[in-house]
Amino acid sequence: MKLIILDRDGVINFDSDQFIKSPEEWKPVPGSLEAIARLNHAGYTVVVATNQSGIGRGLFEMSTLTAIHEKLQKMLAQAGGRVEAFFYCPHTADLKCSCRKPEPGMLLEIADRFDVDLGGVPAIGDSLRDLVSAEKVGAKPILVLTGKGQKTLENGGLPVGTQVFRDLSEAVQSLVE
């Protein structure tokens, strides 16, 4: 199985410091849906791993997160693509859970669910916590400069071997060529 793990906010869709709290606020980064479709057509199983502390903060309900992901899937289907599964951490950082990135729990759950070794699996994110989480499970950290990516790059401290691309489209192009 060719698996790829994507962060959501800042990678697939525009991010917001006030959180994405409704389907109406969810807007794809140009080219991201087509990039996911390209991954699907190249034989990749695409999964999303996303911190969603807005739930733990009481900013939105689980039903809203589901509606946001349904919108993503519907728009993605129109582009010829699909996300196989969504993994999320609803906890706030102060709970110190094992599933919130940069901890590896969410990625370990993906490995368990799909019965795969994450060694070398591409994991694309826009923040240091995405990359550190990937590194902890032996996945291949890839930074995109959309969302918080440019600031993440400027702050430094990236895991050794992190690849950097302008956006999801450029990262996908490098993977499928």
> Tell me: the pLDDT tens digits for 31-73?
999 999 999 999 999 999 999 999 999 999 999 999 999 999 9
Number of structural domains (the chain) is: 1
**Do 32 and 148 contact (CB within 8 A), yes or no?**
no
Known catalytic residues are 7, 9
In a domain, 88, yes or no: yes
The mean pLDDT values, 10 residues at a time, for the chain of 177 residues are 97 95 97 98 98 96 97 98 98 95 98 98 98 98 98 98 98 96
Helices (H), 47-167: 53-56, 62-78, 105-114, 128-136, 149-155
In a domain, 158, yes or no: no
Rounded CA-CA distance 152/129 in Å is 10
Evaluate whether residue 102 is within a structural domain: yes
**pLDDT confidence of residue 30:** 97
157 belongs to a structural domain? no
Contact 71, 114 (CB under 8 A): no
Tell me if 73 is assigned to some domain: yes
Q: Give the CATH number for residue 141.
A: 3.40.50.1000
* Residue 95 located in a structural domain: yes
Note whether residue 98 is domain-resident.
yes
What was the pLDDT predicted at 155? 98
pTM: 0.97
Domain limits for position 74: 2-6+15-36+45-147+164-176
Nearest 10 degrees: Cα torsion 52, 28, 40, 51 = -10
pLDDT of 151 reads 98
104 found inside a domain: yes
Model pLDDT, residue 147: 97
Nearest to 147 by CA among 4, 10, 40: 10
SS3 content of the chain, % helix, strand, coil (to 5): 40, 20, 40
pLDDT at residue 177 in the model: 86
